[in-house]
Every structure is written in structure tokens, then in C-alpha cells.
Chain A
Amino acid sequence: MGVYMAINIRETIDTRGLIPVFGYPQLRAELPRVRVTLHTDNLAQAQGEDALARDWLVAMGKHVGIRETRPTFDLLVTPARSSQGTAWSSPHALATYDVEHIPISLQRFYGLSLNPNWEEMRDPNEPSAPLVDAKIHQALERHLFVTLDQSVLNLALNPRPEGNVFVLTPHEAQHYIDLCLKAHEKYHIRTNYTANRSVYYWQRLWNLVPAFQAAWPYTVYGAADSLPGSAPIMDFMQALYARLIGQMQACDRIGWLRYGIPTSDARDEMLNQLNYFFMLATGVFDSLAWLAYHRFGFRISSPQGVTLRAERRSGRENPLFRQLDTAAPDLASFFRDRQQQERIGLFYAPRDAIQHRLVLTGAHFNSGQVISL
């Protein structure tokens, strides 16, 4: 009854004119339990952005969110064999492999590899400590092994009879986990600070397009005071941010699909998102062209003339640029710049095909690894 009433909005609007937030089924998206293994001895030496990403992975692997009962993902570290590895891992008090769960076939090499001198002692045919760690990770059906060790990273790329290991650098792993969380409705701005999707992308936009922070209030105040052109300017500013946010969401979805098994379903969804991305991109250019048109109060007879594409039928000049030459010469030069036009053109060719002729088609490529093309 509650659900029925809630979804019948007209019947349930409260006295303040608000739609009630109760009465809906409280379904929650389940976050997959990603099992991550950090390669202790190797990552203890990480520097720069990889060190930051490593620390983020540790923080996220220990973080228990509000209304959650366990950390964001399941984190283990490989045993420390070097003094550097011990010095880095000890303060974090992170769990390592449980010997009882290590398959018998690997227990002997695991025990031997714990000797700090194993690399010098071992027979060339015997596995190195990083390889033992990666094999145990795989045997325990853990998902993601994080290291900067090239020999282990290569395991991901060479087809192996027992299946490949999903190995990423800390920086890549950070992005993978971030994409995974977003794909499952968890939007982390910081480790212990989450937002809903709307706020998350809005904040991203404000960070990434600094001029938007200033332009937006001007358009809001201008519209409230009915400045010339203010109503359409407000509309096109809204269209602009909606399109940019839509593009960010499409990009994140494509990023997550890229790490999935390359099936025809994944390919179809990726193409769908890509087609949409192109439409939004040219929509962004259109929004900017119309903003310029209304901002400077231009008159152009044909709407087709309000475009950022310099290329016109032979002998015809872009009428928007021509009027900008007088009203805002810096902006006219900016749009006319050859490099800018080449990049703008890069979006219009596929957009024209999608809109008027063919949609993009795709192929998926299964390398047995996570890199899909």
C-alpha cells in the first residue's frame, strides 16, 4: 500500500507540496566483494602517485562506511620478506595469507619462499617469491593482485593454462576500484566522504571547469533580474552542465565495462554509451555557440549558422565567428584556431554518422586479460 501510494505522486504530495520519500521499496545495490592482494615487498618501495594510490587502497581496504559491517573491499597483503616490506606493512596491521587455506601443492614453496634468502637459494626452476605469492593469490580465488613488479605484471598478459591473474599497478588499481565503486552506486569523494551520484558529478564539474563556478551565479542572478538574453543563457548553461555530467557518467560506465569480460553484451552497452557520448560532445559545442549568440545579442538568420564548426559550404563564412570578430575578438580567435577546429571536427564526423547515417559498430577482443579493445 505504501509503495502504491508513493508512486501515485498526485495522491501523496504533502501539504508543503513535496513528494514524500517514504513508501518506496528500500532496495540497495550489493557491492561485489572485490578481493585485493597487495604485494608488500614491492609496494613498500613505491613512490609518487603509486605510493599515494597504494596508501589509498590500504585506507579503503580498512574503511567501514556508515551502515556497513565490513570494509569496502577485502584486502590482504603478501608476507613481508624484506626489512622495507616489514617496516611498511607492520604499522598497518594488515592480514596476510592464512597458511591453513593455502593449497597443499603450494605450501612447500610458500614455506621456502619466506626465507629472506630464497632468491639466492632457489633453483632456477623453482618459483620466485613474487610468483609464489601470485600463485597463492590465484589459488585462493582472489581478484586483483597489485604490484609494480614487471615480471608479475607480465603474468597478466601472457596466456597461461591455469588462467591469467588480474594484475595492476597501484595507480591502475585505484582507478579500477573507483570505477567499480561508482558502477555499484558508491561515490567516494574521499576515503571517508561519500556523496550521491548527482552531488559527486556536480562537484567534479566544479573542480574540473573552474570558470563554471563563476559563470553559473552570474547567469542565475542575470536571469532573476531579466538581463538581456538571460533566459536562454540560463537554459544553455543548464544544458551545458547536464551534457558534461552525462559525458562523465558515460566515460565512467565505459571505463567499468572495459574491465569486464568482453562479451557481446558489454560491447553493445559500450557502443551505446559511446554513441551517446558523441551526441553530448557536439551538444556541448552547440551550448557554447548559443551561449555566445545570446550573451552578445547576435542575430543570425539560420540556426545552422550558430555553430562552432568553422567549415561551411565553400565561399561561406561562419556567421557566428564573423559577429564575434567585433564583439569578442579573443573568443573568435580561440574558436578559429586550427588545432581547436581539428579537435572539434573529431567529434562532428562520428556524430553526423550516428545522427544521419550509421551508428558506430564495434568489435570486442578477448586477450584472456582485462585489456579490451
Chain B
Amino acid sequence: MTPENMPFTEWGLMNLSDGPDKILLEPYRFTCTALRFLFPFVSDVLRLLNFPRWIGARPALKEAADTTIAFAQSQNNIEFDVSYPQLLERLSLPWE
């Protein structure tokens, strides 16, 4: 159910009354929500692909990779001032 002051769904979609195939899409709302879905999705899949087990066939190689990962993670924990992607809350229209 879409609240009256929020004609678009979370995904930026709005069904039009003149046909079931017609959908209005608000691009920014859609792309932001799509990225919010895709990032954890990709992260989950990469985790489930279990690369440590793949490389674990060669323990020395895994050890070297683990060292690199630990170093990279210590260097790449930069926090951004501005969150991403944006969560859009306010979208009221002038005639409402």
C-alpha cells in the first residue's frame, strides 16, 4: 500500500490506471533502491561462493592472500561523510 503523499513505492514505481503494462518509474528513487538491494545481494553471493575454501587447496597461497586481506582491510576502512545511496523520504506533490 502506498501512502497518499508517497505515490511511488519504495522502488520508485507507480502503476498507471490506463493499463496493467504501464508503469511510471521515478529514476533516482529506483536506482537508489536498486543499489541498496544489489550491494548486500552481491556481498552475500561472494560470501557463499566461499573463495577461502577454493584457495584453501594451496595453504601457502591462502596464507599470503589472508595477509593481504588483513592489510587491505586496515587501509580501506575509510568512513565517508555522506551516506550512500541516499534514502529518499520526502516526496510530496504540490496538489496534495
Asked if A1 is an interface residue, CB under 8 A from chain B, the answer is no
Asked if B18 is an interface residue, CB under 8 A from chain A, the answer is no
Q: Is the CB of A203 within 8 A of B78?
A: yes
* Given A254-B31, A373-B24, A292-B61 contact (CB < 8 Å): no
A157 to B90 Cα, complex, angstroms: 12
The chain A residue with its CB closest to the CB of B64 is A221
The chain A residue with its CB closest to the CB of B85 is A251
Asked if A48 is an interface residue, CB under 8 A from chain B, the answer is no
Q: Is the CB of B44 within 8 A of A334?
A: yes
Asked if A227 is an interface residue, CB under 8 A from chain B, the answer is yes
Q: Which residue of A221, A240, A270 contacts B27 across the interface (Cβ within 8 Å)?
A: A270
Q: Mark B44-58, 1 if CB is under 8 A from A, else 0.
A: 111111111011011
Q: Mark A329-373, 1 if CB is under 8 A from B, else 0.
A: 011001000001001001100000000000010000001110101
Chain A residues with Cβ below 8 Å from B86 are 175, 255
Q: Mark A173-185, 1 if CB is under 8 A from B, else 0.
A: 0110010000000
Q: Is the CB of B82 within 8 A of A175?
A: yes
Q: Which residue of B51, B80, B90, B93 contacts A219 across the interface (Cβ within 8 Å)?
A: B51
Q: Chain B: interface residue count, which band?
A: 35 or more
Asked if B94 is an interface residue, CB under 8 A from chain A, the answer is yes
A188 to B79 Cα, complex, angstroms: 11
Q: Is the CB of B11 within 8 A of A251?
A: no
The chain B residue with its CB closest to the CB of A178 is B82
Q: Is the CB of A204 within 8 A of B84?
A: yes
Q: Is the CB of A157 within 8 A of B69?
A: no
CB distance from A62 to the nearest CB of B (A): 14
Q: Is the CB of B68 within 8 A of A189?
A: no
Chain B residues with Cβ below 8 Å from A217 are 65, 68-69, 72
Total number of residue pairs linking A and B with CB closer than 8 Å: 167
Q: Is the CB of A209 within 8 A of B54?
A: no
Q: Is the CB of A213 within 8 A of B72?
A: yes
A206 to B72 Cα, complex, angstroms: 10
Chain A residues with Cβ below 8 Å from B37 are 343
Q: Which residue of A172, A218, A284 contacts B52 across the interface (Cβ within 8 Å)?
A: A218
Chain B residues with Cβ below 8 Å from A34 are none
* Given A221-B64, A328-B49, A206-B38 contact (CB < 8 Å): no
* Given A157-B92, A204-B80, A373-B24, A211-B46 contact (CB < 8 Å): yes
CB distance from B54 to the nearest CB of A (A): 6
Chain B residues with Cβ below 8 Å from A331 are 45, 48-49
Asked if B91 is an interface residue, CB under 8 A from chain A, the answer is yes
A217 to B69 Cα, complex, angstroms: 6
Chain A residues with Cβ below 8 Å from B26 are 373
Q: Is the CB of A218 within 8 A of B54?
A: yes
The chain B residue with its CB closest to the CB of A215 is B46
Q: Is the CB of B34 within 8 A of A347?
A: yes
Chain A residues with Cβ below 8 Å from B28 are 251, 254-255, 258
CB distance from B1 to the nearest CB of A (A): 17
The chain A residue with its CB closest to the CB of B43 is A211
A182 to B52 Cα, complex, angstroms: 36
Chain B residues with Cβ below 8 Å from A204 are 80, 84
Asked if A238 is an interface residue, CB under 8 A from chain B, the answer is no
Q: Mark A213-252, 1 if CB is under 8 A from B, else 0.
A: 1110111111001010000000000001000100110110
Q: A222-B54, A273-B27, A284-B42 are in contact. List 8 more A-B contacts (CB 8 A).
A: A174-B82, A189-B78, A218-B62, A248-B84, A295-B49, A295-B54, A340-B41, A360-B25
